[in-house]
Amino acid sequence: MLSMDTLTQIFKSRNPKNQLTRCNENNANGSAFLQSLSPSILLVWGRFAGGVQRRKVSCQCGTWHINLMGLKLTKQEPPKAEDLSLHHHMINYLTKNFIRNLVSKQRRRMLIAGYDLDMSYITDRVLAMSFPSQRMRAMYRNPLWQVKSVLDMRHYDHYKIYNLCIEESYDPAHFYGRVEAYPFDDNHVPSLEMIRAFCESVDSWLSSDPKNIAVIHCMAGKGRTGLMVSSYLSYCGMSADEALQLYADRRTTNNEGVSIPSQRRYVTYWDTLLSNSVLRGTGNEPLKVKLPPPSSRELRRIRLYDTVNIDTIFFVISELQEIPNEVYRPSVEAYRSSCRQIKKGYQRNNSPRYYISILEDDDDGKQSETEEPRIVVQMDTESPAIYQKSCLDHYFDKPIQVTGDVRVIFYEKMIGGRLFYCCFNTAFIKNSLLQLTIQELDKVGKKGSSICGPDFCLELLFGPANTGYSSSNISNDEHSSNDSL
């Protein structure tokens, strides 16, 4: 049995402002108060108070019989001069914190001055958090006014916020104008130019005063935030692995910080660039990071090794496009088609490097108007583990040029469901071949896993880095590029 006095003391100890108002005998009685609550609120309160067991909680308004199905009220005596507003504050407070803890999942939370917030100090001067929200979103994200209150209390006039969200923003005036935006798409990657600009800005802000801290957030405060925080830690001297591990330890309880492979890949890209950069000079001179020049590559073939229970997978290729005077770079479609099984042929000739395949229809599965089969000469790039595995292929009749930051999304057309995707930068492709296992692909759900065998592999075959190269010499170049593998 939990008395109302006990509940009141618990709530007062967790409510930093003690905003408790009182009402008189003429106010609505306890029964009316409880009946005014929505069933969803009662259900959440029931789960919070009772868990999976039935409990009885008594107060001056009556007796609450709580279980997972809801709440039943047995009216007792008329209420005294009770603070019905207190009841509302209690249920509102407990419900919101219950929902916020569910939404934050394995991210670490901080209890500061009675506020339970989704935020973590990665270092003494770098703070990661989820989006500071208003209105309905504040029900399950960090309330903006609470974030502001905590930051003012701990780091007044010495904090700067970096917003990585493209899907939502807020008035920088809430934080005295000390807000910078470096937006990019959720679950995806930024350009290398954005990573450099972000790191230089954070470094400049922290170097200007030893009391300054940087507060970085996206929406959930995990993936995009982890990518940029890890990039800055690498900028400060850590290796990519050390930075990612520190972020995972400080931000999550299950040691899973940046979990999307492409985001981890870009931290590694950035670390590679840093290793080739000029060392930091004396004084406050920033580290000068030299970015690779734009590198266009001819994409000639996409192959999916060891696929099961599927004969066609559709894909769309897009690039991050720079917009003048804009920080955000949208993803712009460059090409779309499908990978399909080789229906006839698939016979290897005597050469260990090439085999001949015959296709009778086009990429959409339609019969060719000339009724003549297409003969495809293919370079042998299989590793022994997948040598005999079935595969889905797409050959580009005319190789397409891709430059810079590229995204390839694979999906099922009839269902419309995304299977998986990957992001990469063409400047980091070696030996004209990019191979990714299922562990290196992004957002592989149940459907994506169901069509991948144990030796599944995505393979992208490119032409040489020389953009002036003519695609008419494909066979000779493929032979030479294969020799260099």
Q: Which residues are catalytic?
A: 218
What is the C-alpha to C-alpha distance for residues 452 and 59, in angstroms, rounded to an integer? 58
Q: H or E stretch including 312?
A: strand 312-320
CA distances from 96 to 92, 346, 386 (A): 6, 60, 51
- Return the SS3 of 52: coil
CA distances from 132 to 114, 147, 162, 186, 339 (A): 17, 7, 11, 16, 43
* Radius of gyration, CA atoms only, the chain: 29
What is the C-alpha to C-alpha distance for residues 216 and 209, in angstroms, rounded to an integer? 18
Q: Which residue from 92, 97, 100, 93 is spatially nearest to 140, judged by alpha carbons?
A: 100
Q: Which residue from 80, 45, 43, 41 is spatially nearest to 59, judged by alpha carbons?
A: 80
The stretches of 178-333 forming alpha helices (DSSP H) are 192-208, 223-235, 240-251, 261-275
Phi, psi of 479 (to 5 degrees): -65, -45
